[in-house]
Structure 1
């Protein structure tokens, strides 16, 4: 489910269980005014993975429902990897849903470069456990996600969340799942009325299509589709968190930028890429990228975004607004405006770009694989640029600490993450011999 180990669940009073979930889902067509028309139904048996507090006293009342990502050809819990620390310490329940066809049947994936063994479907790996799973195709994936979400809110004695008092549900998803949630927010959120908020992480300019019967969605079509914004008449909050890769490259999110409202918030994080070292963990070398992958700090910003979204959905407070990343639109291709080190200006600022020691980018130049494009890059800063900023490592650490406290005060990272964020500093890269 993840390349990076998460927190020890048992040590935090959590448990993990997997369940089969069966039901009937509908498929839809839509008119130009975003109205849905049901055009068919079919049965499904999918699976969910549940990580939850054992005791209701440890539960904060919110279930985070992740649309599992299938870009590798099998399910991956991309956002759990980023959010796990906040989920566990905050007392959330987390449920990963195999919403898409490829998560059940397996497939080649859409990113390449992961050396995924074949076959990838659960039933091929463990027939005794998974042969009963059945997915009728991604034409039904949105209603499957909504149907499972509704079932998670109806807690009885024989239920994955039995013993917990569920008060809120938040939908989350990254990359392909974020593109699915873009469509879900615009077409299905008001129809299902299941979730109290949506966190869309690393979407493209367009949303995912409504899919077809008996097959998975061709995600490549999203990158050629017309840009779309999130509708402004929703009565639940939608939080969009984007990296540099998402704003530019073929994701083209800069074409779908929209202003913040009392129900929409958009954060673009400087120095980040679509995927990064935190996600790939000890398997960085298997990607074969020409430069080290991005070592930005989006995980801290995402944890803050979830924290804010929960409060927002509960009616307690709204998240802070952030400026967009600065773009130079004077040439044929949009470019980021960068500082003296080479890091992007504007956006949500974390210590690694406010007190930089490296160049952190979400846009990789040259002929590289698609997977390396997604993982961005980390390259050395020019020694003279670092020397102009810092007299020695101690000054760097002082300024890095100040940047950490400013980010916490601004609400873009959480005070609970302060020690981990400080440990991310790189004073070893500062000095005349570096």
Structure 2
């Protein structure tokens, strides 16, 4: 005969554990399916997006005692619409690229995950934080969210056939699984995921995001956080998983939070799968669907951090979109960082190229000549470090002022020409140029540009290079105090203007 055991009949320690489980887990919480990770057979060349390959993602992994490994990730994941409706489950095969300390004693307990960008399988978060991650002993897992090339690719649907054709001509070869198979057919031929443009739409057209994106992400986090004798992180004691997702794939994580997946999908012991979310350089809703800045089902006790470049913040200004205030409960931070562009040459993925001003007939426009080349990764690394302290120590991240607005326009300092408010790196505190956005200049390129000050202006502002250099050093100190620059990074940050500019 079965016996009904009440909570009051349990020992006090068991009562406490059970009550904690009941009240900290969602009424609808469930454990995702566990995926399978299979090592990719060795090839005669490094994998796509490898840190060992010369290019924008290269890092000296040996110097830091890191190893890189690639795995197939296979499973069955739900197909979910942009509005959050789960229709059915389907199989998938994708790949993950793992970087981890060879010595488990160097591992700090945290894994950073990010979906690779559509464009050239770029690891944007890796590019922006790699030195910090390697110094501090993080593990990193990048993963592919993509599809076979459809007859009409939703990534390139535009207002006119001419614009659509132009986008296809420029980017068509570096997106979808076909790009990966052309790069290394034997390695990437098995990849596949569900896609149906009729059943899955976003806004007025087909959804460009893989319907299984959210389920794949949750299953990956479950795999990484589950101790195992074999697997991608075997031998490492994983305590935390952070999302660090940039550019267009950041929308996946806004959807994940907005639709309540954080609360829905959990570890078997009811702990969260994800412990913190950082996204950046993405104006949510820009590719269709809801234009929101605060997830409607924002979780408690987990940071959600968004980092805007001047391009993204300018988009919201022109569209009249207000940002929610920063709060400690829920843990929400928005950073509008002045003096950083949407894209740099240092951010390009494999085989990814972008037009310059001369390519679009703007070669003679003085506002279009000089691209940003500032080390924005230093600001991003400091913000990621701040998020880590918030998770591990409960120390809230700093709250930054928003960029100053007047209606649907930004306010620029009449003396420097730069934006007022926002996070202000040393090169904005002590400027040697006016930093612009393409929305303002009409340069017609994805890169944002700046107009360097003339010798006369530099002389009027600073007198000579020595005075400018000292002011820049003082600005670095203020950024460290504000927690937007790490002391170890400050040592390598050099003034933007050079002696010959004076």
Asked whether the two chains share a fold, i.e. TM above 0.5, the reply is yes
Q: What residue number does 2:392 align with?
A: 314
Q: Cα distance, 1:281 vs. partner?
A: 10
Range that drifts further, 7-16 or 394-403: 7-16
Listed as ranges, the matches of 1:14-33 within 5 Å are 14-29=66-81
| 2:343 is equivalent to residue 264 of structure 1 | no
Q: Cα distance, 1:202 vs. partner?
A: 1.5
Match of 2:280 among 177, 201, 209: 201
Q: Distance in 2 between matches of 1:338 and 1:282?
A: 38
Q: What residue number does 2:490 align with?
A: 418
| 2:127 is equivalent to residue 127 of structure 1 | no
CA-to-aligned-CA distance 1:152-195 (integer Å, 9 cap, x gap)? 11131211111111000001111101222211222222222310
Q: What residue number does 2:22 align with?
A: none
Q: Cα distance, 1:382 vs. partner?
A: 4.4
User: Aligned-pair RMSD on alpha carbons?
Assistant: 3.0
Range that drifts further, 118-127 or 169-178: 118-127
Q: Distance in 2 between matches of 1:106 and 1:6?
A: 34
- 5+ residue gaps, structure 2, are 1-48, 157-166, 196-209, 266-271, 358-367
**Change in CA separation of 1:284 and 1:205 when aligned onto 2, cut-off 3 Å:** closer
Listed as ranges, the matches of 1:54-203 within 5 Å are 54-70=102-118, 72=119, 74-101=120-147, 117=173, 120-137=178-195, 138-187=210-259, 188-192=261-265, 193-203=272-282
SS of the aligned residue for 1:221 comes to: coil
CA-to-aligned-CA distance 1:213-250 (integer Å, 9 cap, x gap)? xxxxxx7325xx43342347412111111111001137
Q: Cα distance, 1:197 vs. partner?
A: 0.4
Range that drifts further, 76-85 or 140-149: 140-149
| 2:92 is equivalent to residue 44 of structure 1 | yes
Match of 1:355 among 409, 423, 430: 430
Aligned length, in residue pairs: 404
SS of the aligned residue for 1:101 comes to: coil
Q: Cα distance, 1:269 vs. partner?
A: 0.5
| 8 A Cα contact 1:59 1:92, kept in partner | yes
SS of the aligned residue for 1:180 comes to: helix
Q: Larger Rg: 1 or 2?
A: 2
**Change in CA separation of 1:105 and 1:396 when aligned onto 2, cut-off 3 Å:** farther
SS of the aligned residue for 2:492 comes to: helix
CA-to-aligned-CA distance 1:283-327 (integer Å, 9 cap, x gap)? 999632342222244211110111111121224311111101112
| 8 A Cα contact 2:437 2:448, kept in partner | yes
**Change in CA separation of 1:51 and 1:339 when aligned onto 2, cut-off 3 Å:** farther
- 5+ residue gaps, structure 1, are 207-218
**Change in CA separation of 1:284 and 1:378 when aligned onto 2, cut-off 3 Å:** farther
Q: Cα distance, 1:363 vs. partner?
A: 3.6
Range that drifts further, 319-328 or 15-24: 319-328
Q: Distance in 2 between matches of 1:11 and 1:406?
A: 31
CA-to-aligned-CA distance 1:349-381 (integer Å, 9 cap, x gap)? 111111111222234545444xx2x32102222
| 8 A Cα contact 2:248 2:282, kept in partner | yes
Listed as ranges, the matches of 1:216-227 within 5 Å are 220-221=287-288, 225-227=290-292
Q: What residue number does 2:341 align with?
A: 273
Q: What residue number does 1:210 align with?
A: none
Q: What residue number does 1:216 align with?
A: none
